[in-house]
């Protein structure tokens, strides 16, 4: 029996824009706007307007989650649902009522709410009027929105998070064109990275004020998708490529969040390239003074890189990937449907890195899961027989347990996701849930993995 620490949090993660649908929202986010403008760019033409209908079904969905052994749910508040006037911060009464009801329903069903404030879903108005995350004014608006959330829900929510996967905002919106506004602008991505770190720190500053005024024992963190880069070989040039990739993908957000400063190695490269972010001493002090209490780690796949085939000194537009090429390891195990390598051992490496280089900060796996397409092919007697998902989760939990045994301060595991959810441009192409959602009828039922997860959650471990 592989047993986990006492009070280990067995949870699941989702997000507001991927689960709720657009019902009664006073504002559009970037995905609402993009789908309205170009529905053909979304898989099967399915947009975020219904998603998994959580807005209407939460009173049924939450008990179903509890039956799958989910004892903590990480979800997000939609800025565009809660705030009516984005400039003044005036709240929308329907949004306040909805989130109050969801939080209360979670608690009534024995599920601890973990609330994230931003999951890729910036209000489109803030792009159109201010330039989105390229604007430092937007970082102030975000902090004000966060303060509203603490005031409205902080009496019941004890686990807060500022951002989910800020690195994906750079990749999707400013580098590789899979999120609106589909830009390719490396220097802009650098500034956005800085501004996101600043926005998180400003929100944490507001949280500290609220916490002191309310004598609260709540904590605040951030959620990062960590993909430490492995070099293709031990050749110094491959190792150098992997060092930069790790600094850009992980440490650019991990170091400010936990240590209060950016990596000097990365700052020098960006400075030498003439693309370093615009900052002020006052802003850097805000980042230094407002580090996180806890870290959420999303992990799906490793990153493997090698020396770039073209020198970074060549005349070319600046992009982060001029310093490395991706490498595909022969014989790797793959999730072919998603195109991601399966390598659970990385989770152990992440655990040891946090232990050794980040003060052994309290952390938890905030997302880990396997997306598979055409899951109906595994339907038998009305239930999805997703043994592949059970194996994926089990293999990662084994490596996580090794990390905990080695002294890493991990206190939870959250599977992505509870109920099959809408996934941005990919819509429902790949399914991740412990619970199946027939999006045509909105009928929902546990998969085999949901029954299995309920048992390991109850037992606080599993047989190996």
Strand order in the sheet with 325-326: 229-231, 303-306, 325-326
| Residue 341 confidence (pLDDT) | 98
Taking the mean position of all CA atoms in its chain, how far away is CA 330?
29
Q: Which residues contact 209 (CB under 8 A, 6 or more apart)?
A: none
Assign 340 to helix, strand or coil.
strand
Span 438-459, pLDDT tens digits: 999 999 999 999 999 999 999 9
At 418 the pLDDT is 98
Task: Tell me the mean pLDDT in the region 424-443.
Answer: 97
Rounded distance between C-alpha atoms, residue 370 and residue 348, angstroms: 18
Which residue of the set 173, 283, 303, 367 is catalytic? Answer: 367
DSSP state of 250: I
Residue pair 417/371 in contact (Cβ under 8 Å)? The answer is: no
pLDDT for position 438: 96
Q: Confidence band (pLDDT; 50, 70, 90) for 144?
A: very high
Reported as a single tens digit per residue, the pLDDT across 302-342 is 999 999 999 999 999 999 999 999 999 999 999 999 999 99
Mean of pLDDT values over 292-305:
98
Instruction: State the average pLDDT over residues 277-286.
Output: 98
Tell me which residue of 118, 114, 107, 163 sits closest to 12, measured CA to CA: 114
165 is catalytic: yes
- What is the structure's pLDDT at 129? 98
Residues 98-119 have pLDDT tens digits of: 999 999 999 999 999 999 999 9
Does residue 367 have an active-site annotation? yes
According to the model, what pLDDT value does residue 171 have?
98
Domain 2-462 CATH superfamily: Glycosidases (3.20.20.80)
Catalytic residue among 165, 283, 303, 375: 165
Mean pLDDT of 84-101: 98
CA distances from 419 to 12, 64, 104, 314, 394 (A): 9, 9, 19, 47, 19
pLDDT at position 353, please? 98
The model's pLDDT over 343-384, given as tens digits with 9 standing for 90+, comes to 999 999 999 999 999 999 999 999 999 999 999 999 999 999
pTM score of the predicted model: 0.98
The ranges assigned to domains in the chain are: 2-462
């Amino acid at each position: 029996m592989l047993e986990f620490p006492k009070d280990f949090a067995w949870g699941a993660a989702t997000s507001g824009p991927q689960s709720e649908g657009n019902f009664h929202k006073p504002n559009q986010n970037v995905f609402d706007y993009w789908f309205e403008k170009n529905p053909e760019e979304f898989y099967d033409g399915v947009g975020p307007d219904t998603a998994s209908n959580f807005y209407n079904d939460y009173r049924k969905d939450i008990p179903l989650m509890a039956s799958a052994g989910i004892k903590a749910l990480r979800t997000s508040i939609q800025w565009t649902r809660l705030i009516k006037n984005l400039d003044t911060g005036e709240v929308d009464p329907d949004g306040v009522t909805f989130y109050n009801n969801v939080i209360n329903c979670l608690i009534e069903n024995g599920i601890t709410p973990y609330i994230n404030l931003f999951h890729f879903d910036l209000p489109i108005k803030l792009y159109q009027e201010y330039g989105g995350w390229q604007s430092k004014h937007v970082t102030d608006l975000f902090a004000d929105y966060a303060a509203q959330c603490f005031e409205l829900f902080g009496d019941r929510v004890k686990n807060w998070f500022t951002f989910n996967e800020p690195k994906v905002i750079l990749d999707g919106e400013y580098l590789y064109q899979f999120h609106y506004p589909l830009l390719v602008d490396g220097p802009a991505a650098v500034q956005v990275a800085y501004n996101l770190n600043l926005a998180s720190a400003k929100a944490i500053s507001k949280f500290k004020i609220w916490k002191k005024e309310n004598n609260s024992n709540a904590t605040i963190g951030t959620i990062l998708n960590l993909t430490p880069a492995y070099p293709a070989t031990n050749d110094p040039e491959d190792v150098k490529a992997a060092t930069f990739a790790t600094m850009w993908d992980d440490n650019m957000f991990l170091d400010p969040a936990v240590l209060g400063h950016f990596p000097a190695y990365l700052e020098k490269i960006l400075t030498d390239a003439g693309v370093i972010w615009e900052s002020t001493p006052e802003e850097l002090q805000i980042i230094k003074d407002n580090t996180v209490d806890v870290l959420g780690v999303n992990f799906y796949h490793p990153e493997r890189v090698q020396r770039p085939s073209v020198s970074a000194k060549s005349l070319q537009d600046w992009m982060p990937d001029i310093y490395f090429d991706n490498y595909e390891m022969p014989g790797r195990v793959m999730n072919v449907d998603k195109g991601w390598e399966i390598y659970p051992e990385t989770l152990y490496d992440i655990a040891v890195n946090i232990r050794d280089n980040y003060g052994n900060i309290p952390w938890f796996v905030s997302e880990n899961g396997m997306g598979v397409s055409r899951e109906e092919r595994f339907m038998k007697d009305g239930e999805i027989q997703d043994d592949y998902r059970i194996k994926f989760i089990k293999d990662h939990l084994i490596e996580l347990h090794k990390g905990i045994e080695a002294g890493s301060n991990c206190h939870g595991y959250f599977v992505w996701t509870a109920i099959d959810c809408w996934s941005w441009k990919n819509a429902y192409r790949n399914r991740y849930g412990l619970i199946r959602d027939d999006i045509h009828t909105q009928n929902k039922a546990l998969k085999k993995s949901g029954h299995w997860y309920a048992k390991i959650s109850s037992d606080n471990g599993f047989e190996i």
